[in-house]
Structure 1
Amino acid sequence: MDVGLPIRKAPRYAVRLFFGFLLLLGGVIFQHYGVSWDEPTDRMNGLVSLRYMCELVAPHWATKQAYLQSAPPLRGHVDNDHGVLFEIPLALYDVVRPGNDPRDFYLVRHLAVYLTSLVGLWALFRLATLRFRDERLGLLAAGLLVLSPRFFAESFYNGKDIPFVALFTLGIYTLVWLLERPSWQRAVVHGLVTAAATDVRILGLLLGPFTYTLLALQFFSAPAALGRRTLWHVGLAYLLALAAGVVAGWPYLWEHTLQHFAAAFASLSHFEHRWNGELLYWGHIIRAAEVPWHYALVWITITTPIAYQVAGLVGLGVTAAELLRRPWPRLRTATGRFDLLVTGWLVLPLAAVIGLHSSIYDGWRHLYFIYPALLLLAIRGGLAIAQLAQRGAGWRRLALGLSLLAGAEALLTAGRMAYMHPHQQTYFSYLPRHLVAPLFERDYWGVSYRQGLEYLVSQHPVGPIYVEPAGEMPFENNKIWLSEDDRSRVLRGPNMPGRYFIVAYRSMLGPYPPSVGTEVYTLRADGVPILSIFKRGQDPIPPAPTRW
């Protein structure tokens, strides 16, 4: 990343058209996605913190808001140590909006998650543009993220991980922006972005070590350009902005700041004490606290397009070889320091999860924030493969063949995303369809319940509909998409004659036995069953199958 080199521009209006198209696309399809397991919990966490804030700064107004007062107090709330920066503005909208239809709230929430994801997409575009000095490659990196099916679907309802990915990527960008021209003003901006990421998930603090490491390397490689006084000013301004921003955006820290921060940090590595549910992994039912060391690696492999993985590994290998061959001369350059940053961004969190035996679940969503680094390395790998063409005819044919395969997979991925809509969250890159069901979880978000309930009301336009859901939470969450009359007709009735059993395939092995009843509806995504509805008989529901 030679900052002296000019940046090659993309064709006129290409950048605006790219992001404008994504804005338009999101505005059309954001209404198509269901409500996930976590969203009501996240909604309540936002209300709890908003109530605490309002009772401090506007107590008279707060006491008049009946809906706000229905939230429990922050002190003693089970999730009071969760970052809520993304949720607080939504909670304020929830309190002041006209009407009380929850569907209106979740539509706004889904749109907010998507718009936040576009901020991260823009940051990735800028990072790739700065590293490779070419806006076309910046658009390519952003395009690869868009053509990542699981990320695309979750960009409408995953309010925990997707906003964190966006803010962490923005934090990496503001760090590179700071290093281009160090000043206390830029350090303050970068500190506030780091704080925002931390106030969504405490892992945002990783940006701190990255920042000070890169500042130190820049100082020792060019002490004349970054003087000792400037270094101290920048480092101190960043620290102060970070500390002030973290506390300001996290109401849990407004009292007993250090004690509460230590408690939040401790809960990061002990989350299994709150949720230690069952997972289906490699054909075995295991607990979240018992995931093997390869859990994250396997999920990354089976849910990321193959070309991205191959190019990313090539890019990682090329980058590591350059850094190891001549480490100090390489780190004296802005390009070398950028490559070290991206490599650390990808490798260190993954190594920490493996080495510390961290409890993760629902695929690798807790590590989503490393994915933009993989895509940047994939661009680096793609350029390295393209350079092979200069070595002779044989290498040129190899590079051309790999490029054609990568392009074909990108087109296939886009087609599969359209075909699977709105259930791209169940995408598997290369795993054969007949192996998905017995080996891995499918719709662990529970959003497919929306289509199941819509099917039931379409088949029974009048009269009560009794349902025995396998998951009570996604069942209740997704009733909001029905009309008010239909919501009142769809009832939980575990002992009622003619009832239906509805199940999204999460932590279960094998199909249900015939004693469950007659399967009347199957929702498939790319040929894989992700939700079934059974017309029940009189027998009780047997336990979820534990073997295939």
Structure 2
Amino acid sequence: MKSIAHFPKRILLLCFRIMPFVFFILLLGIALILYDDYGGFTDEILEIQTAAVNAKYILSKFPAWFANTEISVPIIGKLQNMPDLLSYDDRTYGTAVMMPSIFINQIPGVELNAAQFLNFRRFYTFLNFYFAMIAFFILLKIRFKNALIALTGTIMLMLTPRFFAESFYNCKDIVFFSWVMVCLCGIGWYMMKNSRWGLVLFCFGFAFAANTRLAGFFLWPAFLIISGLNHWIRKIRNPNIIRSWLLALIVSLLLFYAVTPYLWGSPTTRLSEGIRFSSSQITDRETELLTEANLKPLGQAELFLGNYVDTKQIWYYLPVWMGITIPVFYILLFMAACFGIGSSVLPAILKRKFSADLLFDWFCLAFFLTGLIGIILLKMNLYNGWRHAYFLYAPFIYLAVLGFQALLSMPVKNHVLRTCKNAALLCMMLYSFFSTGSWVLRNHPLDFVYFNEIGRNYAQQFSRDYWGVASKNCILDLLKEFNGRRISLDLNADYTWGSIEYSLMRLPQKEQDKFDPVWKTENAEYLCYSYKNTPGNQHSIPDFEMIKTYAIDGYDVAAIYKRVRNFKWPGAE
């Protein structure tokens, strides 16, 4: 009878245990359905080429084998025909994380065409974010010793619409964020559990984050400082533990060097060159092209609060963008965590009690504030929203979860008041999940242009579809205009920033054949337009009229235009 009485409790415990597994399985299934829904990302071809250039440089170290082996990359061609890495314009871009994807056709039985390859890259990109979420779940479970809190925090990360949407096509900023998150999780795992698995996670997280963007190099001294303080403050004298993290620092540097072929041969000089580039986020070639086109360099004419600004001169550019694109409830939880951490400093010092959990919380807050203040004071070049600072969201979302857990565990003597407090907090979290989740469902696949409840009122004053992600929607709707005569479509990069061509390339060949792509607007019957640095709505284009608008919450994201005059069909008199 006793075992029967405990049966419902056992079932409940079992459900709690399998919930995370069910969540991650469902998430992977959702990704398999959604991964090719988005258009955009105009740098994708360049990223593939840069990976191929790096691959050639690596494989050329085995000349006898490489000379007799033919390796072809979809879209790019043979590796042997790629330029030399050391004279390549984008040589400072790391590609270690994304490079394996270019060898997909080398797997026996796999032969993807260009469209299939580009779509496969979308799913491969997402896998980085997916792995980061798993690492984040593990970190939260270690820190809070509660699988439900850990799962709640992981859902918070997933239901950050811009991050989830961009995890399918942003193979630089989201990939960088993902490996910073992995590195952060490794540091926390090591600090709180003295686990060598945490050190392994740190080594790989650091190497791939720093390779993706050299700004990730700051993770190395950050780990050195926090590990040293952890052992000094907590009076850890075990020589084996000290040797372990010192060895991890050495291994992480060696691993970073190994996956960054550009550094081979002259690491100090080339690392300095890469760091100089990472502060500007723009190559000399890009600067020359913009100068020739009589355009301002990237970051010096960004639409922000209705004005075109140089982001380096606006200290509040980054805080404002974060404040209007992160779900409001997460921001409130983050503020609660900051208050809690601030109030914990003096008691910890007076009592001389410094737990590993507390030190890691302090570390995450210091990580976030140092990164934010550093970007502002160093006047680093930012453009296209705050995507170059997405890595700051790793400590931010951790602190938001910390704030949630702190409010839940906040002592209230009265049982009724404590129950009401926790019920209200849980209801607010569920409402946030429902509000954000339903917004994503209503607006997918335009969820990449999410503004929170505060930002929606001002969205027309900010950059929106800066990568032309809505271009695929435009193309699919234009297919409805097909009546046996090919659709004359403008590929002018001034309107969708080059993404219309890329989105067209990702369609099946039979769909591509329904279009007549043209490069001059005067020869096109239709064009798609993405709102990048265009304030307001209803953008006008001479000789064209808007026939369809893609709008969210009152602000335009993209539109389709049809020519109304001054157009002649090819061959017409």
Q: Normalising by structure 2, what TM-score?
A: 0.85
Which shows bigger deviation, 315-324 or 170-179?
170-179
Local SS of the residue matching 1:280? strand
Deviation at residue 433 of structure 1 after TM alignment: 4.7
Measured in 1, the distance between the counterparts of 2:425 and 2:71 equals 64
Kindly indicate whether the alpha-carbon contact (under 8 Å) linking 1:9 and 1:136 is maintained by their aligned counterparts in 2: no
Measured in 2, the distance between the counterparts of 1:249 and 1:490 equals 42
Kindly indicate whether the alpha-carbon contact (under 8 Å) linking 1:168 and 1:204 is maintained by their aligned counterparts in 2: yes
Matched with 1:466 is 488
Local SS of the residue matching 1:13? helix
**1:295 maps to 2:317:** yes
Measured in 2, the distance between the counterparts of 1:83 and 1:324 equals 43
Note the 1:44-63 alignment, pairs <5 A. Answer: 44-57=49-62, 58-61=65-68
**1:260 maps to 2:270:** yes
Matched with 1:543 is none
Kindly indicate whether the alpha-carbon contact (under 8 Å) linking 2:323 and 2:331 is maintained by their aligned counterparts in 1: yes
Measured in 2, the distance between the counterparts of 1:495 and 1:122 equals 47
Kindly indicate whether the alpha-carbon contact (under 8 Å) linking 1:519 and 1:532 is maintained by their aligned counterparts in 2: yes
**1:279 maps to 2:284:** no
Kindly provide the CA deviation profile for residues 373-424 of structure 1, in whole angstroms up to 9, marking residues without a partner as x. 2222222222333355715567875665454334222211110011111121
Matched with 1:508 is 534
Which shows bigger deviation, 156-165 or 486-495?
486-495
Kindly provide the CA deviation profile for residues 459-488 of structure 1, in whole angstroms up to 9, marking residues without a partner as x. 124223223341351121111233324434
Whichever residue aligns with residue 54 of structure 2, its letter is: S
Match of 1:41 among 20, 42, 46: 46
Whichever residue aligns with residue 215 of structure 1, its letter is: S
Measured in 2, the distance between the counterparts of 1:297 and 1:115 equals 29
Structure 2 CA distance for partners of 1:189 and 1:31, relative to 1, 3 Å: closer
Matched with 1:211 is 223
Structure 2 CA distance for partners of 1:383 and 1:159, relative to 1, 3 Å: same
Match of 2:255 among 245, 249, 258: 245
Structure 2 CA distance for partners of 1:34 and 1:14, relative to 1, 3 Å: same
Deviation at residue 269 of structure 1 after TM alignment: 1.4
Note the 1:375-454 alignment, pairs <5 A. Answer: 375-387=397-409, 390=412, 400-401=423-424, 403-431=426-454, 433=456, 435-437=458-460, 439-454=461-476
Matched with 1:126 is 138
Local SS of the residue matching 2:61? helix
Deviation at residue 282 of structure 1 after TM alignment: 0.6
Kindly provide the CA deviation profile for residues 418-458 of structure 1, in whole angstroms up to 9, marking residues without a partner as x. 11111211110014656322x11111121111111122222
Aligned residues: 529
Matched with 2:83 is 72
Whichever residue aligns with residue 138 of structure 2, its letter is: R
Note the 1:16-415 alignment, pairs <5 A. Answer: 16-57=21-62, 58-61=65-68, 65=72, 67-93=78-104, 99=111, 101-180=113-192, 182=194, 187=199, 190-223=202-235, 225-227=236-238, 229-230=239-240, 232-272=242-282, 274=286, 276-277=297-298, 278-287=301-310, 290-327=312-349, 329=351, 332-387=354-409, 390=412, 400-401=423-424, 403-415=426-438
Measured in 1, the distance between the counterparts of 2:114 and 2:552 equals 27
Whichever residue aligns with residue 527 of structure 2, its letter is: F
Match of 2:556 among 526, 529, 535: 529
Kindly indicate whether the alpha-carbon contact (under 8 Å) linking 2:181 and 2:394 is maintained by their aligned counterparts in 1: yes
Measured in 1, the distance between the counterparts of 2:215 and 2:523 equals 50
Kindly provide the CA deviation profile for residues 222-281 of structure 1, in whole angstroms up to 9, marking residues without a partner as x. 43x433x33552343123212210111011112212211121122111335656233211
Measured in 2, the distance between the counterparts of 1:64 and 1:388 equals 60
Structure 2 CA distance for partners of 1:353 and 1:347, relative to 1, 3 Å: same
Match of 1:484 among 490, 505, 509: 509
Structure 2 CA distance for partners of 1:432 and 1:235, relative to 1, 3 Å: closer
Measured in 1, the distance between the counterparts of 2:178 and 2:524 equals 47
Measured in 2, the distance between the counterparts of 1:9 and 1:243 equals 42
Structure 2 unaligned blocks of 5 or more: 1-12, 288-296, 568-573
Whichever residue aligns with residue 533 of structure 1, its letter is: I
Measured in 2, the distance between the counterparts of 1:419 and 1:64 equals 43
Measured in 1, the distance between the counterparts of 2:328 and 2:245 equals 40
Deviation at residue 100 of structure 1 after TM alignment: 6.1
Which shows bigger deviation, 19-28 or 484-493?
484-493
Structure 2 CA distance for partners of 1:440 and 1:9, relative to 1, 3 Å: farther
Kindly indicate whether the alpha-carbon contact (under 8 Å) linking 1:9 and 1:135 is maintained by their aligned counterparts in 2: no
Local SS of the residue matching 2:468? coil
Structure 2 CA distance for partners of 1:291 and 1:418, relative to 1, 3 Å: farther
Measured in 1, the distance between the counterparts of 2:420 and 2:330 equals 20
Deviation at residue 74 of structure 1 after TM alignment: 0.9
Between the aligned residues of both structures, percent identity stands at 22
Structure 2 CA distance for partners of 1:329 and 1:213, relative to 1, 3 Å: farther
| Aligned-CA RMSD value | 2.8
Kindly indicate whether the alpha-carbon contact (under 8 Å) linking 2:213 and 2:278 is maintained by their aligned counterparts in 1: no
Local SS of the residue matching 2:60? helix
Q: Normalising by structure 1, what TM-score?
A: 0.89
Structure 1 unaligned blocks of 5 or more: 1-7, 541-548
Kindly provide the CA deviation profile for residues 289-339 of structure 1, in whole angstroms up to 9, marking residues without a partner as x. x45111111111101111100011011111122024433756631122111
Kindly indicate whether the alpha-carbon contact (under 8 Å) linking 2:368 and 2:395 is maintained by their aligned counterparts in 1: yes
Measured in 2, the distance between the counterparts of 1:127 and 1:192 equals 16
Deviation at residue 527 of structure 1 after TM alignment: 4.7
